[in-house]
């Protein structure tokens, strides 16, 4: 669900506290409808723990099928596939006008899984032409996915993933064994289920079950149609960590605008380490690269930004796998034969293990974490959500300056 274009630069937290990483058109509910306009709408995808906006969902109606009313499993023709690819290009180009570098969640008719390799290559070329990398994009398959056979879903998702795209299931109404076998990036829990989660134990039980399936299979469950603070609290209790809905923003929301803050966590209140500001107030956008990025690319990032302290190497699920400190990296590169030895090789060779902290942690507790490693006490900390995804970077110097004034 997190944007690396070309660097991972999440948008500002809605309350101004630091940095911050879906839904099918066919299942759009009354509160989430983009309205009669053909212009795409936008929804913030929000981390339910920190309130950070981790992605932008684009809401738009796909082109009409060549054969209206045909079965979902019917093959998609070349002309229809080209029309869908051009439509996706238009959505990406339109989103670029918002100046948001957050990951995009784009709607996609599930029938596209029948189109084969040609469509995937076509979409990849168009997305790259629009200035975004496939890994910046999650293609959210429509609710008609539930009508497709396993023999279409599994290889179709594999083709999209092989091209670098993230694939989302736009409905939870898919057999669990298909979810496990296809291993999508995320699974959207339908608004009809989410709407009763705060008041109906039956709904809460279903949501909790879907969240456990997701955690067990490496799939992020995302709640759609979140309408109230009570929904947020109950979804957290069920194990859901990301969501979208009218609670966070209305239909006029645009990327970069504020969203409604989530309720503060209540666990552990009253302890000294829970007092004071949280690290979300100090988070800055991380500069992130794929884990297979070369050392030369990292060097370009450091030379292009003299104020950059560190670079985060991130895997295909936005989880930090390595951190490269500016000072130690440049010492390695400027030493004798340094450039010749390292430039064309993976930057991961010069990376160190990331020091991660949960985004809900307080600044005081974060300082204690930093002090546990005397050799790296001033290295940046990486703030993560409950899925271990990178949300932002925290500079130790910022924590010290703030707490010294308080």
pLDDT digits (tens, 9 = 90+) for 87-98: 998 898 888 877
- At a CB cut-off of 8 Å and minimum separation 6, what does 99 contact? 255, 256
**Residue corresponding to tokens 């995320």:** 186
pLDDT of residue 66: 57
Contact between residue 76 and residue 264 where contact means Cβ atoms under 8 Å apart: no
pLDDT of residue 354: 92
pLDDT of residue 76: 65
pLDDT of residue 68: 54
Give average pLDDT by consecutive 10-residue segment, the chain, 406 residues: 39 37 37 52 89 90 66 64 88 81 89 84 88 88 90 92 90 88 91 90 91 83 94 91 93 91 65 66 88 90 91 86 92 78 85 89 87 87 82 90 75
pLDDT of residue 7: 44
The neighbour count for residue 276, using CB atoms within 10 Å, is 14
Looking at residue 252, the DSSP 8-state letter turns out to be T
pLDDT of residue 326: 92
Q: What is the pLDDT of residues 125-178, one digit of tens each?
A: 888 888 888 888 999 999 889 889 999 999 999 999 888 898 999 998 888 889
pLDDT of residue 5: 36
Identify the sign of the CA torsion 288, 290, 292, 296. Answer: negative
Of 249, 218, 194, nearest in space to 27 by CA: 194
**Alpha carbon of residue 245 to chain centroid:** 16
196 CB burial (10 A radius; 0-12, 13-18, 19+): middle
pLDDT of residue 32: 46
End-to-end CA, the chain: 35
Supply φ then ψ for residue 198, to 5 degrees: -80, -20
């Amino acid at each position: 669900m997190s944007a690396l274009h070309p660097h991972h630069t999440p948008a500002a937290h809605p309350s101004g506290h630091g940095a911050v990483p879906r839904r099918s058109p066919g299942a759009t509910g009354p509160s989430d409808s983009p309205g009669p306009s053909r212009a795409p709408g936008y929804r913030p995808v929000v981390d339910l723990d920190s309130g950070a906006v981790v992605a932008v969902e684009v809401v738009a109606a796909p082109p009409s099928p060549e054969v209206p009313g045909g079965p979902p499993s019917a093959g998609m023709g070349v002309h229809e596939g080209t029309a869908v690819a051009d439509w996706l290009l238009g959505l990406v180009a339109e989103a670029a006008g918002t100046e948001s570098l957050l990951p995009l969640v784009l709607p996609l008719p599930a029938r596209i899984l029948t189109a084969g390799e040609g469509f995937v290559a076509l979409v990849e070329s168009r997305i790259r032409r629009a200035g975004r990398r496939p890994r910046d994009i999650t293609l959210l398959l429509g609710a008609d996915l539930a009508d497709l056979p396993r023999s279409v879903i599994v290889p179709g998702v594999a083709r999209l993933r092989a091209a670098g795209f993230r694939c989302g299931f736009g409905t939870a109404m898919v057999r669990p064994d298909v979810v496990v076998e296809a291993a999508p990036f995320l699974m959207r829990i339908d608004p009809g289920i989410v709407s009763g989660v705060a008041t109906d134990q039956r709904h809460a039980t279903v949501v909790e079950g879907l969240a456990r399936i997701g955690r067990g299979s490496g799939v992020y469950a995302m709640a759609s149609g979140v309408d109230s603070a009570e929904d947020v609290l109950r979804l957290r209790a069920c194990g859901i960590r990301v969501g979208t809905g009218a609670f966070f923003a209305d239909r006029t929301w645009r990327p970069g605008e504020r969203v409604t803050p989530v309720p503060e966590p209540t666990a552990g209140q009253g302890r000294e380490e829970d007092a004071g500001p949280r690290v979300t107030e100090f988070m800055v956008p991380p500069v992130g690269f794929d884990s297979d990025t070369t050392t030369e690319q990292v060097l370009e990032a450091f030379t292009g930004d003299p104020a950059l302290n560190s670079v985060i190497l991130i895997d295909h699920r936005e989880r930090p796998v390595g951190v490269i400190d500016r000072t130690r990296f440049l010492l390695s590169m400027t030493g004798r034969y340094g450039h010749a030895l390292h430039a064309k090789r993976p930057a991961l060779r010069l990376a160190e293990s990331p020091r991660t902290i949960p985004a809900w942690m307080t600044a005081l507790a974060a300082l204690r974490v930093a002090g546990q490693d005397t050799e790296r006490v001033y290295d940046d900390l990486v703030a993560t959500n409950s899925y271990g995804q990178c949300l932002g970077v925290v500079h130790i110097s910022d924590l010290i300056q703030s707490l010294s004034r308080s």
